[in-house]
Amino acid sequence: MVDPCTLPVRKVAGASQCDCVHQVETGPIAVRSCVRCLGTGQTDPRRDKTLKENRERRIPTSAEIQAFNGAYCKRVYASTSLDWRCPGCHRTKHELLRWKMLSKNTPNRYMGWAGGLHKHHDHDHGPRPVRFPETLMCEQCNSADGVAKRELRLPDDFSFSPSEISCFVIGTAHGWHLMNYLAAERLYVAVRPTIPPPPPMFWTPWVPS
């Protein structure tokens, strides 16, 4: 079994050494000692772009928050209580709102408020038991599962649970998530051996003699 703490920092195109005094992590989940390099000492241009967007983000007024009806998630948004928090990023339903381009692939695109809610589930688990129950999450945390799997080239039949997603995303109220891919990779290596294999087939595969 691979020790998740020994996995090297992934090389990122355009990365440079962070100017922070960072602390090298010793645990299975990366220490978030620096929001720019996440304790690795290596910057990521994509993360720097997100940090810049979050610094320049628009904050909704109280009137805009009250006027928001959930957009394409109207029914779910209306049924979600005010004290609900996303189990991944721990933001409230009001903190999910962010100013972005809507209908961007159409001639009628426009700027507006968005804040989606989705039910996250164990994808493509096949015959094995599900690892976690279907859980309501913000759209960014729900998407973080697929983004991390594509970045790390993980199997399609694996899904991070909401509590696992909370270990590698950093949410910003009215902004965009930061992704800690090193933490996601170490987490996958740590939990993968605990996933039971599928049950045996009820027939014996034919093997040519």
How do residues 77-129 score in pLDDT, each as one tens digit? 999 999 999 999 999 999 999 999 988 888 888 899 999 999 999 986 677 78
Please give the residue that has the higher pLDDT: either 86 or 2. Answer: 86
Domain boundaries, given as residue ranges, for the chain = 60-193
Which DSSP helix (H) or strand (E) runs through 62? helix 62-67
The model's pTM = 0.79
Higher pLDDT, 7 or 180: 180
Q: How far apart are CA 38 and CA 40, in angstroms?
A: 6
Contact indicator for 188, 158 with CB cutoff of 8 Å? yes
Q: What is the pLDDT of residues 179-193, one digit of tens each?
A: 999 899 999 999 987
Confidence at residue 176, expressed as pLDDT on a 0 to 100 scale: 95
